[in-house]
Structure 1
């Protein structure tokens, strides 16, 4: 069987948000392609639409008009129920502030998305152990978030994001709350997930130095891409 390619296509996307009695357009005719296996960094000023792109690709937000297609699946044509199931299988989210459950251990936080799958308890435990090992936290299995550093908490957040083996990781300022050393470690981990495990990664960042691990960097301004840089090693 030929493996499915999860190319991301945004075509003629118009997206606006309400402001009082009027609506403010974010994108008026956005068209872009992100190939399967890409590592794309998106930079730009606040309000340029960076996080909106992540929300549209992740199926959290919907277009006013135009289309979002991933692997041939048209997100704007799916029911809410179908979109929720698709998102749980295809998309992983990494946030700036981790969003860990404070009363749960590292392992229990990672296991959360697996509770929605058909995996048995023993299969879930094995998956969690493997993933924590991948992100370098095998020895922090039972630690609560409060006992972990910021960088370690973000590693747990990444482990949770890849627990269900999604094809696409959407990272919104994943190093924005970290010191330089911890940020570099997280960036190296994301690069590993891209190069070794083949995850497509789309990373919004305000930190230009963070883009060094990406294959491509685009600058977004007022809903339009104004420049693109391709990494020398790509």
Structure 2
């Protein structure tokens, strides 16, 4: 077994709503192995999105450790976390979050504008990312000229353009028809299998969850069951 790329150890996380303290996680521990493809299901309010935010450094635990490749990140400042995210984490969203006035290529390039890459290197990486998701011929199209499935492919290309090790997908097929959803899941499987990306996907769709190599169920801040798909 490979070493985990990420570990949450004894993580506690809660929020205040009015005068009430709502506990999401109470000493949650999970290892995410390098090269894993994990799907997470669970009812609304079970902590799925909070978990992704903790894994992606968008939120910090109240207590406990978050370790990425041997480094504890929970105490880092926002500037250091932003640099770490840019290099190591790709985010895929349900509603794509594309800039409507920009072409597909420009949308994919956006994360690279915060790096020191030359314009030539940025163009190379954008072309590679669009090729991986099968949209080389749509590079100049704006989002309104693309189908929902194609827009999500642009979102995936944007997530992988900096070659991150970890992909976090929050309901990536939630706004798509079955055929488009299956195409997106096939791309995620390819990224995991052929490019060794570690993928953590939150979903309400059992069919989507079954495409992962490991299925976890989150309920009331705890993993209640898990199964590993046949390899």
Same fold (TM over 0.5): yes
CA-based RMSD: 1.1
Aligned to 2:61: 63
Structure 1 partner of 2:146 = 148
Measure the CA separation in 1 of the matches of 2:99 and 2:166: 23
Length, aligned pairs only: 230
Q: Which runs of 5+ in 1 are unaligned?
A: none
For 1:11-160, what aligned pairs fall within 5 Å after superposition?
11-160=9-158
Deviation of the 1:116 alpha carbon: 1.1
Q: CA deviation at 1:22?
A: 2.3
Q: Alpha-carbon deviation of 1:201?
A: 0.2
Separation in 1 of the partners of 2:159 and 2:60? Answer: 22
**1:156-195 deviations in whole A, cap 9, x for unaligned?**
0000000111000000000000000000000000000000
CA distance in 1, matches of 2:87, 2:149: 26
Q: TM-score, normalised by structure 1?
A: 0.96
Per the alignment, residue 226 of structure 1 pairs with: 224
Measured after TM superposition, the shift of residue 212 of structure 1 is 2.3
After TM superposition, the structure 1 stretch with the greater mean CA deviation from structure 2, 65-74 or 192-201, is: 65-74
TM-score by length of 2: 0.97
Question: Gaps (5+ residues) in structure 2?
Answer: none
Q: Alpha carbons of 1:227 and 1:185: their partners in 2 closer, same or farther (altered >3 Å)?
A: same
Cα displacement (A) at 1:5: 6.0
Q: Which runs of 4+ in 1 moved over 6 A?
A: none
2:209 corresponding residue in structure 1? 211
Other-structure match for 1:174: 172
1:195 maps to: 193
